[in-house]
Structure 1
Amino acid sequence: MSPFSQVGLLLINTIGSMALFIIILRFLLQLVRADFYNPISQFLVKATNPVLIPLRRIIPGFGGLDVASLVLAYVVQALLFAAIFMFAGYGLPWANILLWAPVGLFALLLNIYFWGLVITVIASWIAPGSYNPALILINQILEPVVRPIRKMMPDMGGLDLSPILVFLAIKIVEIMLLGPLVQMLQIPRGLIIGL
């Protein structure tokens, strides 16, 4: 692969991953009803509104879900795969790309939860009770997943082991569901970051 192609792949992966991350975070923040007045929430809203507001006129929400955000994430993921294949010098297998996009989004969602847990665990050691806007939003995203496990855990004297169980659950889902999907759909792991 030529240096030009490598630089192109790096730029496409970086910019595309950032855009996907912002769109998925916007979806998650609306899903968990996170603090709208948080400065990071305000940034996400301002960054995604120019595309989402017109898209919402065409695609309405359903059952409290922001379907327009999911459709936008799907389209961006598919375009990202297409750009990666184009710069890597492969043909554009559109049928495969349309099947790979939801798997890529699911992998990104698992990564967000995994790294969010890592950040909250480290922050609980370094700065317990911090009121950092990023930590508040991460906790608001993770709480619906961690709370049911925390309720089932016995009292450990202030020690919260629920993140460990969520880590295990994420890894089990990756092994049992994501791995077989990647193999079944023959998604090339070397080209796609996050898989």
Structure 2
Amino acid sequence: MNPQGALFFLLTTAIEVYAFIVLTRFILQAVRADFYNPISQMVVRLTNPVLNPLRALLPSRGNIDLASLACVLLLVALKVVVMILLSGAPLGAQAAGPIVLYAVRSLGSMIINYFFFAILVRVILSWVAPDPYHPFAAIMTQVTEPLLGPVRKVLPNLGGLDLSPLVVLLGLQFLMVLFAL
């Protein structure tokens, strides 16, 4: 039996899932997704209890929700602290700098991965051809269109073949390699 490993798994998974939901809130607001979409409403209800108090300290700047961005950073830092404490290693004041740096790098990686997989999901949905008014399909379109739209305008028309997802996916992978995320 490994109760410490099981506790570690549960805590880190819970933190990562909630960080994903808060990041979704940040991205939905940044791309100005439909607030009345049922998926948007679920994300808002799950994140409001934590983000509303943070908004008093960090108000939004246009469509950039600083409170949700700070919350994701805090959640990633919390995950690192939990990992350190459960491993039995000492946690001193000198660890603050590396933890903050790790949280910022993780945030960048999370955002790039979020868009990477959102584009993959949108491509797969285009093969299945779901109802374009389905809430999930609509959200995927709203999240990915700010990246795909400008690339689509630059690429030549290939008669129904859209290569913009391929170009954007390669660009996102390039950023991951460039910044070693």
- Normalized against structure 2, the TM-score is what? 0.92
Query: In the alignment, what sits opposite 1:49?
Result: 48
Query: In the alignment, what sits opposite 1:66?
Result: 65
Letter in 1 for 2:145: E
Query: In the alignment, what sits opposite 1:40?
Result: 39
Q: CA RMSD in A?
A: 1.5
Cα distance, 1:128 vs structure 2: 4.8
1:170 aligns with 2:172: yes
Name the CA distance, whole Å, in 2 between partners of 1:79 and 1:162. 37
Query: Residue 77 of structure 2 contacts residue 99 of structure 2 at CA under 8 Å; is this kept in 1?
Result: yes
Query: In the alignment, what sits opposite 2:116?
Result: 114
For residues 115-150 of structure 1, give each alpha carbon's deviation from its aligned partner in whole angstroms, at most 9, with x where no partner exists: 111111111111255332122112111111111100
Query: Residue 32 of structure 2 contacts residue 63 of structure 2 at CA under 8 Å; is this kept in 1?
Result: no
Query: In the alignment, what sits opposite 1:83?
Result: 82
Cα distance, 1:102 vs structure 2: 0.9
Query: Residue 130 of structure 2 contacts residue 137 of structure 2 at CA under 8 Å; is this kept in 1?
Result: no
- Normalized against structure 1, the TM-score is what? 0.85
Percent identity over paired residues = 38
Residues 90-99 or 29-38, more deviating: 90-99
Letter in 1 for 2:121: I
Give the gaps of 5 or more residues in structure 2.
none
Cα distance, 1:58 vs structure 2: 1.7
Cα distance, 1:174 vs structure 2: 0.6
Residues 90-99 or 143-152, more deviating: 90-99
Give the gaps of 5 or more residues in structure 1.
183-195
Query: In the alignment, what sits opposite 2:161?
Result: 159
For residues 34-62 of structure 1, give each alpha carbon's deviation from its aligned partner in whole angstroms, at most 9, with x where no partner exists: 00010010011111111111211121122
